[in-house]
């Protein structure tokens, strides 16, 4: 199966090439030529499988350059790094209400589901496409992605990773997670400035052929772990398939029955994977797209116009503070009848005017499967508190946004379909806000808030976050953004 660009269907590459390049040459995103379908027999096999086997089976239907055995080797390596017995448990909190916990990975957030797999897929794809230089991953991060990428690429053969973060733009917990990063092939460096400074400094390296020639002379080729890479999206389809299998094997539903998924959304990658799972044969009634007050997606699904001219809010669910949801392009490609010219026009309009509109017909079809809503900061806090009271379940701020939007959906529709709230982070990743929500007391120090939250709820701090303050600090460098290229070259000379 080949991959085509959303902006020009005649650009066609293999799965390995799609993963190596990340983005198509014309700026479009790679999508599979056709979506594979799961037969009844496939579902029967999947139900009997472990999580790594399920992911390998789903991936093998998309990534024809890899054998099932090869993929199984990677999924076993990736998901053995998760703590607890099940990499993504489906927790029954109320009668027909479930929480799918996607945060049992090394950084306690859902990015781990894909970022523990991507390094294996990428490093193998390089070999398959005839590349023998080392892969150098450069990341500018506002927090979660950088740490998840570091953990994913740590000690993976043939790769190195350098992460730049804004010295004034990440939380104390996130900073500590990165400064204590272990691994032989990792480097972390702060940049004097904010996230945009770090991001634009990294972008200049990707656009500078002179630096890239020097890197190549040192044996390195650049790559990105960006969230639009197909190698990050594909592993996410698997947990929708897997949770559907879990519902069947628990006897809650029969094969073919429909369920709702409510997903806290930012860049639209997570919920898009749910849509792709529905195309494969997972029974989906509604995909509920939940936003915080940065509700550009809510407005889009209500009006058919995507418009980024709006105020940007910093919220307690920072991973959803986003104005441009890149992966929406892939969804619109499907709903426009795979009209690449139209998608290109819309994306050009977004770049030029900051907005575009879709047709009424497309909007109506979208709203048959998608439902939307957003939660305010007050809603988010209330839901964290209410869920602890009602279900004895502690959730993080992002999951709470989804739960709040689901509550509104249920109130408006009385839809009794079994529903899955997709949970994207452990509560202890955002201890200050979560503790305030349940206790009413504000503590600004993350370590102190963690201790207080633990004694207040009796909920254990997950392994990867538990001993952070005792780990060796390895990376304390802070540089000026103009020195970033030199810093990268210095790293590649040393190694």
Ligand X SMILES: *Cc1c(COP(=O)(O)O)cnc(C)c1O
* Residues lying near ligand X in the complex (CB under 6 A): 109-111, 144, 264-270, 319-320, 398, 424-425
Q: How far is the CB of 291 from ligand X (least distance, A)?
A: 9
At closest approach, how far in Å is the CB of 478 from ligand X? Answer: 25
Cβ of residue 93: shortest distance to ligand X, in angstroms? Answer: 18
Q: Which is nearer to ligand X, 267 or 336 (CB)?
A: 267
Q: Which is nearer to ligand X, 223 or 424 (CB)?
A: 424
Query: What pairs with residue 259 in β-bridges?
Result: 284
Q: What is the smallest separation between the CB atom of 335 and ligand X, expressed in angstroms?
A: 18
Cα distances from 58 to residues 276, 375, 426, in angstroms, run 11, 33, 26
Listed in sequence order, the DSSP H helices in 336-483 are 340-353, 360-369, 377-391, 397-413, 431-439, 446-457, 463-466
Closest contact distance (angstroms) between CB of 164 and ligand X is 18
Q: How far is the CB of 34 from ligand X (least distance, A)?
A: 23
Report the residue number, 358 or 400, with the smaller CB distance to ligand X. Answer: 400
- Indicate the Cα dihedral angle 176, 112, 31, 157, nearest 10°: 80
| Matching residue, tokens 């070999």 | 127
- What sign results for the dihedral spanned by CA atoms 332, 271, 262, 319? negative
Residue 380 CB, nearest distance to ligand X (Å)?
Answer: 12
- Hey, is 456 helix, strand or coil? helix
Which is nearer to ligand X, 82 or 491 (by Cβ)? 82
**Token pair of 215, please?**
């890197």
Longest dimension (CA), the chain: 63
Q: Is 55 or 136 the residue whose CB approaches ligand X more closely?
A: 55
User: What's the min distance (Å) between Cβ of 297 and ligand X?
Assistant: 9
User: Residue 13 or 290: which CB sits closer to ligand X?
Assistant: 290
- Taking residue 283's Cβ as centre, other Cβ atoms within 10 Å add up to 18
Q: At what angle do helices 172-179 and 446-457 cross, to 10 degrees?
A: 110
- Between the CA of residue 381 and those of 174, 399, 412, 473, what are the distances in Å? 21, 11, 21, 33
Both tokens of 395, joined, read: 């959730």
Nearer to ligand X, 22 or 269 (CB): 269
Compare residues 101 and 144 and give the one whose CB is closer to ligand X: 144
Pairing of β 220-223 and β 134-140: parallel
Within 13 Å, how many C-alpha atoms sit on residue 413's CB side? Answer: 15
What's the Rg (C-alpha) of the chain?
Answer: 22
For the bound state, the minimum distance from the C-beta of residue 290 to ligand X, rounded and expressed in Å, comes to 9
Contact 372, 302 (CB under 8 A): yes
Q: Which one, 264 or 281, has the nearer CB to ligand X?
A: 264
Q: At how many degrees (to 10) do helices 118-128 and 68-79 cross? A: 150
34, burial (CB in 10 Å: exposed 0-12, middle 13-18, buried 19+): exposed
DSSP string across 354-365: SEEE--HHHHHH
Name the minimum Å distance from CB 401 to ligand X: 8
Q: Considering beta carbons, is residue 18 or 316 the nearer one to ligand X? A: 316
- Could you report how far apart the first and last alpha carbons of the chain are, in Å? 37
* Nearest to ligand X of 31, 124 (CB atom): 31
Name the phi and psi angles at 285, rounded to 5: -85, -65
Closest separation between CB of residue 22 and ligand X, Å?
16
Q: In angstroms, rounded to a whole number, what is the distance separating the alpha carbons of residues 388 and 395?
A: 8
């Amino acid at each position: 199966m080949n991959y085509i660009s959303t902006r020009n269907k005649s650009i066609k590459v293999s799965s390995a090439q799609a993963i190596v390049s990340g983005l198509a040459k014309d700026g479009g995103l790679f999508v599979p030529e056709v979506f594979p379908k799961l037969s009844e027999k496939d579902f029967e096999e999947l139900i009997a499988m472990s999580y790594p086997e399920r992911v390998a089976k789903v991936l093998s239907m998309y990534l024809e350059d890899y054998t099932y055995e090869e993929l199984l080797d990677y999924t076993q390596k990736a998901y053995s790094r998760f703590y607890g017995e099940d990499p993504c448990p489906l927790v029954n909190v109320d009668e027909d209400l479930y929480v799918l916990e996607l945060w049992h990975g090394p950084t306690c957030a859902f990015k781990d589901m894909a970022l523990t797999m991507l390094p294996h897929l990428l490093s193998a794809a390089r070999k398959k496409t005839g590349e023998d230089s080392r892969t150098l991953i450069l990341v500018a991060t506002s927090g979660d992605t950088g740490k998840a990428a570091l953990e994913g690429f740590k000690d993976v053969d043939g790769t190195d990773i350098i992460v730049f973060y804004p010295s004034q733009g990440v939380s104390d917990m996130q900073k500590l997670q990165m400064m204590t990063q272990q691994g032989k092939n990792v480097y972390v460096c702060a940049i004097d400035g904010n996230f945009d400074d770090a991001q634009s400094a990294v972008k200049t390296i990707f656009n500078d052929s002179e630096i890239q020639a020097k890197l190549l002379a040192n044996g390195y080729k650049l790559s990105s772990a960006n969230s639009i890479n197909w190698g990050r999206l594909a592993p996410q389809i698997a947990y929708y398939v897997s949770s559907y299998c879990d519902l069947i094997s628990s006897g809650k539903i029969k094969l073919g029955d429909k369920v709702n998924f409510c997903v806290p959304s930012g860049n639209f990658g997570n919920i898009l994977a749910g849509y792709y799972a529905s195309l494969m044969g997972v029974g989906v009634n509604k995909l509920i797209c939940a936003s915080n007050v940065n509700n550009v997606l809510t407005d889009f699904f209500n009006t058919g116009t995507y418009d980024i001219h709006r105020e940007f809010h910093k919220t307690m669910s920072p991973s959803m503070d986003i104005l441009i949801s890149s992966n929406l392009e892939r969804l619109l490609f499907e709903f426009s009848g795979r009209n690449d010219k139209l998608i290109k026009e819309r994306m050009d309009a977004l770049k030029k005017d900051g907005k575009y509109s879709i047709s009424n017909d497309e909007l109506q079809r979208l709203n048959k499967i998608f439902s939307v809503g957003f939660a305010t900061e007050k809603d988010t806090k209330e839901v964290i508190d209410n869920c602890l009271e009602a279900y004895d379940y502690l959730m993080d701020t992002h999951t709470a946004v989804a739960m709040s939007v689901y509550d509104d959906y249920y109130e408006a529709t009385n839809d009794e379909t079994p529903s899955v709230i997709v949970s994207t982070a452990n509560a202890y990743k955002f201890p200050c806000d979560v503790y305030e929500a349940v206790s009413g007391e504000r503590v600004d120090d993350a370590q102190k808030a963690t201790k207080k939250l633990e004694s207040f709820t009796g909920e254990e701090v997950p392994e990867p976050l538990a001993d952070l303050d005792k780990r060796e600090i390895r990376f304390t460098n802070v540089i000026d953004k103009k020195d970033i290229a030199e810093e990268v070259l210095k790293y590649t000379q040393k190694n």
